[in-house]
Amino acid sequence: MSLGGPSPSPMIEEAIDYAISKGVIVVASAGNEGYAGMGWPGAYPQVISCAMAAWTEQFVWSSWLDDVPEKLNTPDSWGNNWQVYLDDISSRPNKDLGQKSHHLDVTTPGSAIVGPYKSAFAYNLGYYYLWGTSMSAPHVSGIAALVLQLHPSLMQLATETILKNAAARLPIPSDGSWVYDPWYGVYHFEWFGNDWGRGFLQADNAMKVARVRGSALLKKLPI
């Protein structure tokens, strides 16, 4: 679900719990409010929530001719020791709203994602860059679908466990990143250790964890 609101809704949570009880895997955007806190339903602990990250070399001209590196935990041309950063607008848990660090689960790409969109700036192209955790949610949903191809009987809790364990293999460092941004110029993005959930989720790591732990989770967790 690429949506969210500023406060919890018992009716929406009831619908989510019903869907989960029927085997639906529920993923939701964390929101685009930074330290103002996560939106709901992403903030519900039973929902798989996602923050948004970007590649530090995304708007460096030479990178347009290259692919994203396979090893993101390597230095880039800016001197960062990691090639993924957490975008400022990505919502993160706010304790004043009763949100806990574990309520935010994983981080996936969500900054300047190219997709079909009629923009006033590029109307005739039909494609444009979009920012937000609404761009992250489809990445997480797609990876969850791949995991379910391996283990179709997995329910919400088991799927969330696999995704969080997979993301933990790539924990985003909390020392910030220098990035060139078309709107900010050269800008230093900052974040703290609980702002990105368990880590940066990639499909290959999710599949590895699913192959190793999927069968065991089916035996331990309710299905």
68: domain CATH number is 3.40.50.200
pTM, to two decimals:
0.90
Number of structural domains in the chain: 1
218 vs 126: CA distance, rounded Å = 43
Residue 51: C-alpha distances to residues 17, 18, 89, 144 (Å): 22, 25, 9, 15
Does residue 2 sit within a domain?
no
Does residue 3 sit within a domain?
no
Does residue 189 sit within a domain?
yes
Does residue 108 sit within a domain?
yes
pLDDT in tens, 158-171: 999 999 999 999 98
pLDDT in tens, 82-133: 899 999 999 999 999 999 999 999 999 999 888 887 777 666 777 888 899 9
Residue 86: C-alpha distances to residues 153, 160, 190 (Å): 33, 21, 8
With beta carbons less than 8 A apart as the criterion, state whether 32 and 91 touch: yes
Does residue 1 sit within a domain?
no
Does residue 200 sit within a domain?
yes
Domain containing residue 145: 10-220
Does residue 4 sit within a domain?
no
pLDDT in tens, 173-213: 888 999 987 777 889 999 998 899 999 999 999 999 999 87
Does residue 5 sit within a domain?
no
